[in-house]
Structure 1
Amino acid sequence: MIGHLINTINFVSLLGVFAVNLFFTESSLSNFIRTFIVDQKGLLLFTQYIPSEQYSRLIHSALTSYVGNAKTIEAVSAKYDTAFTPSHFTFGIWAVIYSALFLFSFLSIINTKRAESERIGRVVGPWFLLANILNVCWVLAFCFDKIFLSHLIFMSLWMNLFVIYSSAIRTRYGKELAHEFPLWVRLPFTLYLAWATMELLASFLLVLKYDVIKPFSDVFSKQKDTLYLFNIDFSHPVLSLVSMCGYVANLLNEEQWAATMVTISSVIALWFSKFKRDFTFVGVVLWTQVGIFLRHYSRAFVTISSSAPNVTTQPATPTVMQWSESLLIVTCLTNMALMTFEFLFSVWEVLSPSATVTIERIIEEAEEPKGSRLDIEFTGPSQKKKKSKVL
């Protein structure tokens, strides 16, 4: 009974998450809603029912100012752009994720297997409710330019999703131990966690660029005689830590950091593929890497030819930025090839029965105790016994 109630609450909270994300998204519907609330005094329809007129005006003024000053997710993303941000079409995966989450929430309510529905509500339900709350908090912090705060919230969201994922999918050495939950429970959170992993890496690079690299570079250019870099003054621990972090962060430029993040994402995907046998996670990482590659490829190699006559062009010397862009493109290509091979191999491994039997046999042989086995047969008058001894 409690689990079914939690499932119902989660469905309502997911509707709220979808509404908040839609409100802060650049679309005609969200623009109409914001205009209605701010300009047409739409909040009066709700605040007028508050008993005290003084509190009603105060709440209406606060909410109107809050909503009016909020930016859309696209506007903030364009303001804080990084080299790890993929092309716009890549974010269409949110439609797949929300569709899968709504399907999970709906099926968990109408599930005829009461015991299974109760188990889903008790095991996954509380964490899913917390994930919805953290999602809303992240959207609000991000749309009000609280970048570092939004990064901390998103880290909490990722850890929460990893707990859900670990509860729904239990494996050992790549071998699934038990089907705790059906596919319609596991697949949505696999998609959600994989995309959240890529978003977390992008958020880390965003904080690194705008909260560490850029402020440190600005201060160093103005006060380079007073800052300690190579000869750090350890009598001021805070200044020493900030100086060291800023110096280490500036060892690589933005494109090189993005190439590092792409490589890290591939390592994470390989871990999930090996120990969780999850090709869906690999597919989401591959999808994001394709988006990053296409964005930088179009910016680096697709040029508009000039129609002016008698214009002579000379080859320019490649700059550090151009070399870094090329490095990022090559890194994306290499990791995309690796992820494509791993994705196809994982799909074949899961769908091919012979491959599954072979892998299980290898795992069983690896778990047997080391040593040679000597088989001795004893034949008696009425029975034959076989005794095994491990040397």
Structure 2
Amino acid sequence: MTRMGEHNGGRVALVLINFLVFAGTVALNQLSVFPQYAGGIFNSTVGNMSAKHEIDVTPAGFTFMIWTVIYIWLLLAHLYALILLCRRNAVGPVYVTPAVLTSSFLITYTFNLLGNIAWLFVWDHNLIVYSSAVLWFISLTNWIALGMIHYSLYRHGPWMCRHAKVDMWMYRILWHNGLALYTTWTTVAALLNLGIVLREVAGMEMQIVVYVVLGSLSGIMVLWFILENTALDRFVRYTVTPYAVVVLAMVGIYIKQYAEATKETGYFIVVLLGVAVFCFVARLGLVVVRACKSPLYVNNKIGDDPVLSYAA
């Protein structure tokens, strides 16, 4: 066990390993876009494979450029984590006190990135059932990691609100919202991949596939909207990126599919797009109102001495 004020070699190793795995994930994702430069490890591009397995809710190609935004956002988060390794506060190394990037979070997130790499090869080899399973693994580990890092910041929030407010906001902006962006998109991707399996392997009618994919996305979004504005508010108040992802996905689906969609599919697309926009605007409004009227940690009694007030 590391004592207060001391470095934690295991945590440092995990941060560095996590960054290297992230860098490898981004590099392989880029090579999958340009397989001619990949030395034969990829047979096709992710986009070409998606076009091969298109269903009635596959979004337009430009939608997948969100991966660039995700990886840039997460890169900034990783760089911030590396900077924390070089900083100290009145208690000790910043990455240890407070320990927002916990070992369990870093391990879970590293396995998630390894799953991301595995998916590239499984999808490239046209193993759509296995690729669906891997995508659900990626989505699940994303949700777990997202919960871990939100809880960690909440746990240390009273102390950070007094003694490390800039770091608290850096975690919220870079890690919370960046990871939420990644989590939401991989959840959408998992639903789309599930739709491909239901259509091509299970032989389900396309209209039923549309209902399953868009219905599941609707249910997840509405449930999240309810939870984040009630029971989870103190944990996720300043996480706002998920709805932007859903809006982008639905715009992509609308542009790609609406003109030739059945009446039922067209209605579903338009209504879900409208609900996503409403949730996004409502969420932003609620965040602003609550930040002004009921700020977090305002009632916490905590001493001014970080050594005495910090709860490990």
* TM interval, short-chain normalised: 0.7 to 0.9
Q: Deviations over 1:91-140 (max 9, x none)?
A: 11101110111111111011125654243151421111101111111110
1:83 partner amino acid: D
Is 1:344 paired with 2:281? yes
143 and 208 in structure 1: CA distance in 2 versus 1, 3 angstrom threshold: same
**Offset at 1:333?**
0.9
Q: Deviations over 1:58-94 (max 9, x none)?
A: xxxxxxxxx37x2221221111111121011111110
3, 14, 22: which one pairs with 2:11?
A: 3
359 and 2 in structure 1: CA distance in 2 versus 1, 3 angstrom threshold: closer
Is 1:160 paired with 2:97? no
2:114 partner amino acid: I
**Which structure has the higher relative contact order (CA within 8 Å, separation 6+)?**
2
203, 206, 215: which one pairs with 1:254?
A: 206
1:293 aligned residue: 254
% identity of equivalent residues = 18
Question: Conserved in 2, the CA contact under 8 Å of 1:151 and 1:200?
Answer: yes
Range that drifts further, 9-18 or 112-121 = 112-121
194, 207, 210: which one pairs with 2:200?
A: 210
1:263 aligned residue: 215
**Offset at 1:291?**
1.0
- The alignment partner of 1:124 has SS state of helix
1:229 aligned residue: none
Q: Distance in 2 between matches of 1:16 and 1:294?
A: 33
Question: Conserved in 1, the CA contact under 8 Å of 2:195 and 2:212?
Answer: no
**Offset at 1:177?**
7.3
Question: Conserved in 2, the CA contact under 8 Å of 1:4 and 1:121?
Answer: no
TM-score, with structure 1 as normaliser: 0.61
294 and 355 in structure 1: CA distance in 2 versus 1, 3 angstrom threshold: farther
Who wins on radius of gyration, i.e. which is larger? 1
1:117 aligned residue: 95
Is 1:334 paired with 2:271? yes
Is 1:90 paired with 2:63? yes
Unaligned 5+ segments in structure 1 are: 39-66, 214-248, 301-321, 361-391
Question: Conserved in 1, the CA contact under 8 Å of 2:180 and 2:242?
Answer: yes
Q: Distance in 1 between matches of 2:29 and 2:114?
A: 12
Q: Distance in 1 between matches of 2:195 and 2:283?
A: 30
1:117 partner amino acid: Y
327 and 177 in structure 1: CA distance in 2 versus 1, 3 angstrom threshold: farther
2:113 aligned residue: 132
Q: Distance in 2 between matches of 1:265 and 1:359?
A: 30
1:144 aligned residue: 125
1:6 partner amino acid: L
Q: What's the C-alpha RMSD, in Å, of the aligned pairs?
A: 2.6
Question: Conserved in 1, the CA contact under 8 Å of 2:112 and 2:142?
Answer: yes
185 and 123 in structure 1: CA distance in 2 versus 1, 3 angstrom threshold: farther
TM-score, with structure 2 as normaliser: 0.76
2:95 partner amino acid: S
Unaligned 5+ segments in structure 2 are: 1-8, 161-167, 230-238, 298-312
**Offset at 1:276?**
2.3
Is 1:273 paired with 2:281? no
Aligned pair count reads: 259
1:232 aligned residue: none
Q: Distance in 1 between matches of 2:263 and 2:155?
A: 44
Q: Distance in 1 between matches of 2:213 and 2:118?
A: 25
279 and 266 in structure 1: CA distance in 2 versus 1, 3 angstrom threshold: farther
Question: Conserved in 2, the CA contact under 8 Å of 1:349 and 1:355?
Answer: no
177 and 3 in structure 1: CA distance in 2 versus 1, 3 angstrom threshold: closer
Question: Conserved in 1, the CA contact under 8 Å of 2:44 and 2:124?
Answer: yes
Higher strand share: 1
- The alignment partner of 1:71 has SS state of coil
